[in-house]
Amino acid sequence: MPRVQKNRLISPPVPEDPHGAGAPADDPDAGLDSAADGAPASVRHGAAVIRRLWEHAPAGPGVYRMIAANGEVLYVGKAKSVRNRIASYMRPSGHTTRIARMIALTASMVFVSTGTETEALLLETNFIKQMKPRFNVLMRDDKSFPYILLTGDHAAPQLAKHRGARNRKGEYFGPFASVWAVNRTLNALQRAFLLRSCEDSFYSNRTRPCLLYQIKRCSAPCTGEIGEAEYAGLVAEARAFLSGKSRAVRDGLAQEMAAASAAMEFERAARLRDRIAALSAIQGAQGVNPKTVEEADVFAIVEQAGQFCVEVFFFRTYQNWGNRAYFPRADKSLAPEEVLDSFLAQFYADKPPPRLILLSHEIENRRVLEEALRDRSGHKIEIAVARKGEKRDLVEQARQNAGEALGRKLSEAAAQTKLLAALAGAFGLARPPRRIEVYDNSHIMGANAVGAMIVAGADGFMKTHYRTFNIHNRDTAPGDDYAMMREVLRRRFARLIKEDAAVPAETENTGTAGGDKPVFPDRPDLILIDGGQGQLDAAQGVLTELGVIGLAVAAIAKGPDRNAGRESFFMAGNEPFKLSPRDPALYFVQRLRDEAHRFAIGTHRARRKKEFTKSLLDEIQGVGPARKRALLHAFGTAKAISRAALSDFAKVPGINATTARLVYDFFHERGRQ
């Protein structure tokens, strides 16, 4: 973590003459006001604010945050000399539209001093990911990558898919670009090395081999079908293969197969043949495999119509482990190398870097980023622009894929824009909706009831904006869909009203990011509800109660026999109507409704599953997961625990006298109730 030395919120004083005596004596731009007569008044004011803050900026490396009057963080930047960087914002003219708007909105600044520029880069990246300033380049779709884990905390290591924090002991191989790529590779590895994939709890309770042993995808160490030494040999082969020694592993298996064949051990030779074929399938399915690049991430960026696409290819052990396209939010005035520079720092904020990173463009912070990644990973990192040979071919392949991905996205966006326009026409809206919210409920006779909200806009489904609502109003009768909808909408819009009240009207979000690019709004233009007139009346009643006016609300009632294409629509002040079966707006509404239904059903099933697996032990306050496991291992079930005597609990490892009394009293007091 960066060694933060200072963290100061600076609000400007109000001098008598902000353009004269109030300016620092050594201000390099102190005489530029007369040349800025053509600049907008808001920009001149923002520049004057920054000018008064300039004298408080640290002269060394650090991070600065530009903050609006309502507290919104507009921009996060880092510099080798924060004071010199801040001076570049003190001119009220000569800026791009993006920078000018950022200056105009600045009301205060926060400065954080760091020991080195490398620490400033790391801190800047953390702030950007946490605060998501609208004038910064923002990496979107920041989901973690899947890995293959060879566990190291068990006598018989497990080969498993892993995603998230790498806190389990073992060796991690990856990243893979998708879960599909991991699953495909795991299936082949199981056939090749016969390593177990089951969880430790399943492994410890086996008395006979499972189906995977029968179909030759596991060697069944759980029941002793293979000895510890022989299984350790399979683990060593799998580790060597995943570490890049694939040829040596295959050659060794080929020699064993030949020896078995010569000794007329044909069954063993056939098993070895199948393992070699599985290894060939892994390598043959990876696509284009480099011959000279053992380990690298390849980045290429393209720009078209003011949008950017960064394509990332992952190469490990001379194999292509997949690729992924990213569409960062960035102002169209930025150059591709600037976007790539900021993107890389955010990309590696929570991911282990390879030893080589190949780029399509030279970036300004290459040296600083190399140092930051080296300090964090503990080994040398090289960031380079590929100029020739196979490395250049890999970058060109990534660039071509980036162009194709961006073309597809732009085409989809154009189609989405047409659908939003068609929806506006169908529902009589003054303009195409920028944000659509769709609501649905899911329950079984009122049990595990949940409400779901999905969100869509010009970029399609906005899954980061999805929300779920656990129905917990005790006055709601089981199965009362109208009451559930009222509760969901009341909670949703009461929160929106509360958030709006905290933002002064004159400082509300202008709807653009970085000068020109639209910001996805927080408030909907159109609400769609799965239901009929009753659901519409319930929704309208809540909105009227909360004082929400001017918001279009429509209810979608399924057609006769629930046939798609025969839906009826209900809107306040209109007679129920239908859309033509071939109307694109109808197909769009059906997609929205089906997505809301899918999301609500999935949330309900997850909650129901959690209820099924809930144990009485979970209700005992003061008994944590470790002690629950110890009790279950000792007694088998919660029912057996409830029948145990107090003296029996004292014999369980990890259970002291206090915990024993707590558990005993819980079950016996429960029985007396």
As a whole number of angstroms, the distance between CA 486 and CA 477 comes to: 13
Percent of the chain with pLDDT over 70: 82
Q: What was the pLDDT predicted at 447?
A: 67
pLDDT digit string, tens, across residues 198-240:
888 888 888 888 888 888 889 899 988 888 888 998 888 888 8
Position 454 confidence tier, pLDDT thresholds 50, 70, 90: very high
The superfamily (CATH) of domain 6-131 is GIY-YIG endonuclease (3.40.1440.10)
Of the listed ranges 67-81, 293-307, 363-377, 436-450, the one predicted with least confidence: 436-450
Q: In the predicted model, is pLDDT for residue 649 greater than 60? A: yes
Position 356 confidence tier, pLDDT thresholds 50, 70, 90: very high
**What is the number of H-type helices and E-type strands within the chain?**
20, 21
Looking at domain 616-672, its CATH class is: mainly alpha
pLDDT digit string, tens, across residues 144-185:
778 888 988 888 899 888 887 778 888 888 777 777 778 877
Q: In the predicted model, is pLDDT for residue 564 greater than 70? A: no
Q: In the predicted model, is pLDDT for residue 15 greater than 50? A: no
Q: In the predicted model, is pLDDT for residue 287 greater than 60? A: no
Of the listed ranges 291-300, 320-329, 472-481, the one predicted with least confidence: 472-481
Q: In the predicted model, is pLDDT for residue 4 greater than 90? A: no
Mean pLDDT over each residue of the chain, to the nearest integer: 80
Q: What was the pLDDT predicted at 509?
A: 47
* Stretch 342-353: mean pLDDT: 88
* Stretch 187-205: mean pLDDT: 84
Q: Name the CATH code of domain 296-408 (choices 3.40.640.10, 3.40.50.10440, 3.60.40.10, 3.30.420.340).
A: 3.30.420.340
pLDDT winner (highest mean) among 71-75, 138-142, 652-656, 666-670: 71-75
Q: In the predicted model, is pLDDT for residue 299 greater than 90? A: yes
As a whole number of angstroms, the distance between CA 438 and CA 529 comes to: 6
Q: What was the pLDDT predicted at 481?
A: 80
**What are the structure tokens assigned to 652, written together?**
């369980």
Q: In the predicted model, is pLDDT for residue 12 greater than 70? A: no
Position 513 confidence tier, pLDDT thresholds 50, 70, 90: low
459 versus 541: which is more confidently predicted?
A: 541
Is the C-alpha dihedral spanning 569, 572, 576, 579 positive or negative? negative
Q: What was the pLDDT predicted at 407?
A: 87
Position 21 confidence tier, pLDDT thresholds 50, 70, 90: very low
* Stretch 125-131: mean pLDDT: 88
Q: Is 83 helix (H, G, I), strand (E, B) or coil?
A: helix
Cβ atoms of residues 551 and 565 within 8 Å: no
Q: What was the pLDDT predicted at 487?
A: 87
Q: In the predicted model, is pLDDT for residue 35 greater than 50? A: no
Q: In the predicted model, is pLDDT for residue 243 greater than 70? A: yes
Position 378 confidence tier, pLDDT thresholds 50, 70, 90: confident
pLDDT digit string, tens, across residues 417-434:
888 999 999 898 889 999
Terminal Cα-to-Cα distance of the chain (whole angstroms): 54
Q: Extract long-range pairs of 408-417: CB within 8 Å, 24+ residues apart.
A: 409/307, 409/309, 409/327, 410/304, 410/305, 410/307, 412/460, 413/458, 413/459, 416/458, 416/459, 416/460, 417/458
Which among 509, 512, 460, 451 is positioned nearest to 483, based on CA atoms?
451
**What are the structure tokens assigned to 408, written together?**
């597809």
348 versus 649: which is more confidently predicted?
A: 348
Residue with tokens 């060794």: 252
pLDDT winner (highest mean) among 238-242, 534-538, 646-650, 666-670: 534-538
**CA torsion 169→173→179→180, rounded to 10°?**
-140
Q: What was the pLDDT predicted at 25?
A: 36
Cβ atoms of residues 369 and 383 within 8 Å: yes
Domain spans of the chain, in order of start: 6-131, 147-284, 296-408, 433-610, 616-672
- Count how many Cα atoms sit within 13 Å of the Cα of residue 631 in the half-sphere of its side chain: 30
Q: What is the CATH number of domain 433-610?
A: 3.30.420.340
Q: In the predicted model, is pLDDT for residue 507 greater than 50? A: no
633 versus 114: which is more confidently predicted?
A: 114
Position 477 confidence tier, pLDDT thresholds 50, 70, 90: low
Provide the residue type at 139 as one letter.
Answer: M
Cβ atoms of residues 178 and 148 within 8 Å: no
Domain 6-131 matches domain 296-408 at the CATH topology level: no
Q: In the predicted model, is pLDDT for residue 543 greater than 80? A: yes
As a whole number of angstroms, the distance between CA 370 and CA 362 comes to: 13
**CA torsion 344→349→355→357, rounded to 10°?**
-10
Position 13 confidence tier, pLDDT thresholds 50, 70, 90: very low
Under 8 Å CB-to-CB from 295, ≥6 apart: which residues? 244, 315, 316, 317, 354, 355, 356
Tell me the pTM: 0.65
Q: What was the pLDDT predicted at 62?
A: 92
